[in-house]
Structures are given as structure tokens and as C-alpha cells.
């Protein structure tokens, strides 16, 4: 039926286009749906307590109806801060080396290795943390005459630093490589050394992108759950030093959600902590992505 | 003049050191997993399900978790591909390449990618509760699908974007519709990249623990239907490490080795596949 087959395939094309558009819309909406769902479920606690009390109170006694998230939020910030402080200098140096100095075989060979590092499951990082990092930190602390179990902010920070390194490296190398060659050549032709060119021209040009890469790493570290849960120590108290245990938000959720549903507002409190986590990470992500899109436009 | 050169030398030395440190750490992680895991690994670990008292150090293996993870990640990857491929084709064939919808979709997928997996887990659990579902293989599959959808979409998008526009135009010129062009030209041209993306998503799905913590449950049996709870490898590692028994902890290291090997094989396979399949693409 040659005559009727032509309208059919056009009709099919139109139908396919429409259903694909619907799926695309759904994909766009998932983030919004998640945020709305979490907000809706955490409303009971938001209505019965003030936001200030929830965010800034130190008291975490769910049985007495006291839900202060401060130790957990500060725990997350401390752990993430340590991770970023370790990861950023190392990653920047490595990224500059890979993008500028390394011979081609190292640069090409490093890509699959970075992908591999990014693909290792967080539980495996956690196992590594327990086996290597925790004893190392405990040993280091005892040589400073401090007592710690090793399950502390510093251990979690080290493990997280290794975990976010591939994220930061990947984006930074790409950003550095995308600086137009003319900038390099202009600087070199004026007699600048390679390092001066990098310092004054390339890094300056790539700065927004590099910051975005760091922020992406930061948000990855902030939301990372299993590895942190395994090495951070999980004591609901604001850490006073890097050798104190911490109890970051994701670990709180992972340890307690789904249990103790009989305590009033407990379920709601857990979902509120999910919402807090999601909002912080979303803000970081949106900022970083906007900067990266801008950087991409500049290159083109 | 000399100071400039000296500074360059110093910084370059630091760079080489930090590069060595980062890749050395990767080697250290792999070495730790192998050294600790290998002695505890035996055939029973891979071929048996946990027997009574397994978590007290008695006999058994983690076949339930290995198969559970494969079912879960496999199902989720398949579902994410069914949902994701139309989205990517829509962005690159149906919508105009620089349209606002395409840019916005890419942006929101990137943002979704950044959402922590524990949040996916909690969200999946809310959905399951309101649908009256218990923790099960299906719940885990649905949650992991949401988790890997942005990864799969963005990875496929990167390759499909590279399909030369001339190829599309040649197809339109001989009278093909957009759907025919999308399925028969674009997908075939980008097949290697799509397969790589699928394997990347599979690897991410099989390694994630936080999203299945509440949604997939845990069971000592191999799941035989979608409504049964399923054990997963990352959670098996986590629970075994949590016991105070030395022998069970040893098994956790062995399980970590198994998981790492699965991830490594996936990663290597994706590279080989992309090499094999690019032979048929038009440059």
C-alpha cells in the first residue's frame, strides 16, 4: 500500500515527536518534583518548629521532640571544608601539569585513570578509609599526643578529597585546554616563561571555570554518604577540632531514616534534612553550571 | 632571568609530585582492596547464598548480593535507556540544536546529576510509601533509574551531538522523516558512544549504596520476583563491615574486591566496545 504508507509514517513521526517532548519535559521536572515532594513531607516539622530553632539549635533529642540540626550541618561543613582544602591545591597543580606540561602519552593515559577513580563505588572508598586512612590519622594524632579513634573529621576529609579529585580534575583540565592558543602564543612571544604564561594568562582566563569545577567538587563532597558514614565517627555533637568525630547530614539520614517511625515528627525531620541537603547542593550546582555555560560560550 | 627559571622548576616539581600523589592514591586504593580481599575470597563466596549464621562467621557466600546488584543495575539501566534515549534524540533531532528547550533540559539534567544519591533514596522511599510499596527490587530499580538517568542522558548527548549535521540532511534529502533519521542514522552512527554511556550508567548504578539503602531492602535469598527485597553488593559490604566479627569483616573486604572487579570490567569493556564499534561509523 504505497499510498497509505506515507501518511502513516508522517503521523508516526509526529506522534513520536510529541511523546519524546513529553518525556523530555518529565526529565526536566524530576528535580522540581523531588524538591516539592521533600518539602511537602517535611512540612509537619516546619509548621510546629521555627526554622531558626531547627537550624541553629544544638539539641538533638528526638525522643523529647527536640530537633536541632546545627551539629549535623556544621559536621557536614567541617568535613567538606577539610576535603576541599586538601583536594584543591593538589588538583590544581595536577590539572595544570596534565593540561600544559605532561607529554601526550601521560595526558591521554590519565583520562581513563581519572574516569576509573570517579567510577570506584563510595563503599570501596569507605573500606579503604577504614583500612588505611583511619589508622594513619590515629597514628599521626598519637604522635601529637592527642587521643582519637581515627574516626574523625580529618579522616572523612581525606577520603572525600580523594573522591572529589576526579570531578575537579576532569573539569579543570578541560577548561585549561579550552583557553585559545592565541593567548598562550601572545604571552610566550613577549618573552614570558611557560609558568609565567600559565600564572598570568591561562589561569586568569580560566578562573571562572576553575572555580566552577571546585564548587562542583564541593557539592559532591557535601552530599557524599556512604564513605563519610563509615569513617566520620557519627557523634551528634559539633566537632571542635579535626580530630573530633563528626556526624554529617547524609550520614544522619542514612543511619536513621526508615527506622523509629513511631517517634512523632521524626520522619518529617529526616526528610527536612534531605531537603536542606538538596537545597544547598542545588544552589552550588546551579551556580557552577551557569558559570560553566558562560565559560563555554566565551570559547566558542 | 635565573629566578624565573627557578620558580618554573619549583612549581613544575610540585606539579609532578601532586600528580604522582593522586595517581599513587588510586594505586594504593586498588592495592589495598586486592591485598585485603584476595585472601578472604574463595569459590563459596561467589557461588553460595548466606547460610544460617552467616553474619556470625558461619558458612555461605554473597551470591544473593551479586545477583541482586546485577538485576537491579541491569533493570535500572534498561529502564533509564528506554526513558533517556527518546529525550536525547528529541534534543538533537527534533528540537533545534540551539533551542531554549534543549539548553534548559541539559541544564536541569546537569543539576539532577549533582543531587546526592541519599536524596534520591529518600525521595524514592516517599514515592514507594505513597504507592503502598514495600522495599523491593522494583523500588530499588525505580530509584536507581532516576539516579542514573541524568548520567546516561548527558553521556549519550555528548556523542549524539557530535553526529555531523550533513548526515541528518542527507537522510532528510532522500525523504526520511525525523523519526526514521533518528533511529536509523543517528543511533547507528552514535552506537559506540551510546553503549559506552550505558556501561558508565550501569557502573554507577551497581556501585551506589545510599539510594538503595531504603528502597531495595536486603534479603539472604536471591530475588525471584520484582516484589521481593533484593540484597546489593555495596550494602552487603557495609553490613558485613558493621559486624564485630573478624571473619565477617574479612568477607567484606572480599566483597569489596568483587565489586571493584565488576566496576573495572565494566570500565574496560566500555573502552573496548567503543573501539570495536567506531569502525562502522562514518567520519
Pairwise pLDDT comparison (A296 vs B132), residue with the higher score = B132
Which of A24, A41, A115 minimises the CB distance to B105?
A24
CA B172 to CA B185: how far, in whole Å? 10
pLDDT band at A1 (very low <50, low <70, confident <90, very high): very low
CATH code (residue B239): 1.10.3720.10
Flag if A278 and B119 touch (Cβ within 8 Å).
yes
Q: Which fold has domain A54-299?
A: MetI-like fold (1.10.3720)
Same structural domain for residues B36 and B78?
Answer: no
Whose CA is closest to B154, among A113, A176, A27, A172?
Answer: A27
Question: CB-based contacts of A119: which residues, under 8 Å, 6+ apart?
Answer: B200, B203, B204, B207, B263, B266, B267
Chain A environment of B119 (Cβ under 8 Å): 34, 38, 223, 274, 277-278, 281
Residue of chain B whose Cα is closest to the Cα of A255: B213
Q: Is there a single domain that holds both residue B150 and residue B266?
A: yes
At B277 the pLDDT is 66
Query: Residue B129 half-sphere exposure, CB side, CA atoms within 13 Å?
Result: 12
List of chain B residues whose C-beta atoms are within 8 Å of the C-beta of residue A277? 116, 118-119
Confidence of residue B282 (pLDDT cuts 50, 70, 90): low
Asked if the Cβ–Cβ distance from B25 to A97 is below 8 Å, we say: no
Say how many domains are in chain B: 2
**In the prediction, which pLDDT does B72 show?**
93
A97 and B237 within 8 Å at the Cβ level: the answer is no
Task: Note the pLDDT tens digit of each residue in A266-284.
Answer: 888 888 889 999 999 999 9
Q: Each residue of B68-112: pLDDT tens digit? A: 999 999 999 999 999 999 999 999 888 876 788 888 999 999 899
* Average pLDDT across chain A, whole number: 87
Q: What is the pLDDT of residue B221?
A: 81
Instruction: Give the mean model confidence (pLDDT) for residues B175-180.
Output: 89
Binning pLDDT at 50, 70 and 90, where does residue B224 land? confident
- CB contacts of A250 in chain B (<8 Å) are 116, 118, 210
Indicate whether A20 pLDDT > 60: yes
Closest chain A residue by Cα to residue B154: A27
Q: What is the span of the domain harbouring residue B14?
A: 2-40
Nearest-CA distance from A136 to chain B in Å?
13
Q: Is the pLDDT of residue A90 over 90?
A: yes
The string of pLDDT tens digits covering residues B39-76 is 888 887 787 777 766 666 677 778 888 999 999 999 99
CB contact under 8 A, B107 and A127: no
Euclidean distance between CA atoms B54 and B248, whole angstroms: 8
In terms of domains, do B30 and B92 share one?
Answer: no
Q: Do A258 and B125 touch (CB under 8 A)?
A: yes
The pLDDT tens digits for B7-30 are 889 999 999 999 999 999 999 999
DSSP state of A152: S
pLDDT at A3 over 60: no
- Give the position of cell 532528510: B172
Is residue B124 domain-shared with residue B219, that is, in the same domain?
yes
Q: Are residues B180 and B65 in the same domain?
A: yes
Report residue B281's pLDDT band, with 50, 70 and 90 as the boundaries. Answer: low
Q: Are residues B95 and B36 in the same domain?
A: no
Q: Which cell goes with B118?
A: 541519599
Mean pLDDT of B127-150: 90
C-beta atoms surrounding B239 within 10 Å: 16
Task: Please indicate, yes or no, whether residues B67 and B185 belong to a single structural domain of this protein.
Answer: yes
State the angle between helix axes of B191-207 and B137-160 in degrees (0 to 180), rounded to the nearest 10: 150
- State whether B273 and B197 are in the same domain: yes
B15 and B94 co-located in one domain = no
ipTM given for this complex: 0.89
B150 with B215, same domain: the answer is yes
| Judgement on whether residues B259 and B131 belong to the same structural domain of the protein | yes
* Cβ separation B179–A16 shorter than 8 A: yes
- Answer yes or no: do B62 and B15 share one domain: no
Q: pLDDT tens across A188-220, in order?
A: 999 888 899 998 999 988 888 899 999 989 998
Amino acid at each position: 500500500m504505497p499510498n497509505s504508507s506515507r501518511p502513516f509514517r508522517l503521523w508516526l513521526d509526529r506522534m513520536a515527536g510529541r511523546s519524546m517532548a513529553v518525556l523530555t519535559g518529565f526529565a526536566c521536572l524530576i528535580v522540581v518534583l523531588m524538591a516539592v515532594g521533600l518539602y511537602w513531607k517535611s512540612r509537619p516539622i516546619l509548621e510546629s518548629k521555627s526554622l531558626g530553632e531547627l537550624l541553629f539549635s544544638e539539641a538533638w533529642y528526638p525522643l523529647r521532640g527536640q530537633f536541632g540540626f546545627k551539629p549535623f550541618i556544621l559536621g557536614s561543613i567541617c568535613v567538606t571544608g577539610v576535603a576541599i582544602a586538601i583536594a584543591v591545591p593538589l588538583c590544581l597543580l595536577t590539572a595544570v601539569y596534565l593540561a600544559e606540561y605532561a607529554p601526550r602519552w601521560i595526558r591521554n593515559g590519565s583520562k581513563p585513570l581519572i574516569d576509573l577513580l570517579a567510577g570506584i563505588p563510595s563503599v570501596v572508598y569507605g573500606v579503604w578509609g577504614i583500612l588505611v586512612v583511619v589508622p594513619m590519622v590515629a597514628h599521626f594524632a598519637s604522635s601529637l599526643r592527642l587521643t582519637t579513634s581515627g574516626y574523625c573529621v580529618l579522616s572523612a576529609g581525606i577520603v572525600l578529597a580523594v573522591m572529589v579529585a576526579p570531578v575537579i580534575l576532569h573539569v579543570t583540565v578541560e577548561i585549561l585546554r579550552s583557553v585559545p592558543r592565541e593567548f598562550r602564543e601572545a604571552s610566550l612571544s613577549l618573552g614570558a616563561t611557560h609558568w609565567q604564561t600559565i600564572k598570568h594568562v591561562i589561569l586568569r582566563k580560566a578562573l571562572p571555570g576553575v572555580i566552577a569545577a571546585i564548587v562542583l567538587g564541593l557539592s559532591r563532597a557535601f552530599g557524599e554518604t556512604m564513605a563519610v558514614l563509615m569513617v566520620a565517627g557519627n557523634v551528634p555533637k559539633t566537632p571542635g577540632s579535626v580530630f573530633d568525630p563528626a556526624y554529617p547530614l547524609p550520614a544522619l539520614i542514612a543511619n536513621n531514616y526508615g527506622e523509629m517511625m513511631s517517634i512523632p515528627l521524626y520522619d518529617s525531620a529526616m526528610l527536612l534534612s534531605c531537603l536542606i541537603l538538596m537545597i544547598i547542593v542545588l544552589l552550588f550546582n546551579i551556580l557552577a553550571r551557569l558559570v560553566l555555560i558562560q565559560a563555554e560560550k566565551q570559547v566558542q | 632571568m635565573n629566578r624565573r627559571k627557578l620558580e618554573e622548576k619549583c612549581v613544575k616539581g610540585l606539579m609532578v609530585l601532586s600528580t604522582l600523589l593522586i595517581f599513587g592514591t588510586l594505586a594504593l586504593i586498588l592495592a589495598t582492596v586486592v591485598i585485603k580481599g584476595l585472601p578472604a575470597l574463595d569459590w563459596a563466596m561467589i557461588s553460595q547464598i548466606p547460610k544460617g549464621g552467616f553474619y556470625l562467621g558461619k558458612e555461605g557466600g554473597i551470591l544473593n548480593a551479586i545477583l541482586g546488584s546485577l538485576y537491579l543495575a541491569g533493570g535500572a539501566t534498561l529502564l533509564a535507556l528506554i526513558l533517556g534515549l527518546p529525550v536525547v534524540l528529541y534534543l538533537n533531532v527534533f528540537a533545534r540544536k540551539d533551542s531554549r528547550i534543549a539548553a534548559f533540559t541539559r541544564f536541569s539534567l546537569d543539576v539532577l546529576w549533582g543531587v546526592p544519591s541519599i536524596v534520591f533514596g529518600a525521595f524514592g522511599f516517599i514515592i514507594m510509601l505513597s504507592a503502598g510499596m514495600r522495599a523491593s527490587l522494583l523500588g530499588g530499580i525505580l530509584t536507581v533509574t532516576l539516579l542514573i538517568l541524568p548520567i546516561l542522558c548527558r553521556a549519550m548527548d555528548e556523542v549524539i551531538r557530535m553526529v555531523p549535521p550533513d548526515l541528518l540532511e542527507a537522510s532528510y534529502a532522500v525523504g526520511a522523516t525525523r523519526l526514521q533519521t533518528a533511529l536509523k542514522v543517528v543511533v547507528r552512527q552514535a552506537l559506540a558512544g551510546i553503549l559506552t554511556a550505558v556501561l558508565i550508567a550501569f557502573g554507577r548504578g551497581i556501585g551506589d549504596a545510599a539510594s538503595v539503602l531504603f528502597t531495595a531492602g536486603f534479603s539472604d535469598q536471591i530475588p525471584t520476583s520484582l516484589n521481593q527485597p533484593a540484597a546489593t553488593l555495596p550494602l552487603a559490604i557495609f553490613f558485613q563491615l558493621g559486624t564485630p566479627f573478624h571473619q565477617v569483616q574479612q568477607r567484606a573486604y572480599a566483597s569489596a574486591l568483587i565489586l571493584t572487579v565488576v566496576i573495572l570490567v565494566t570500565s574496560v569493556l566500555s573502552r573496548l566496545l567503543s573501539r570495536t564499534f567506531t569502525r562502522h561509523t562514518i567520519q
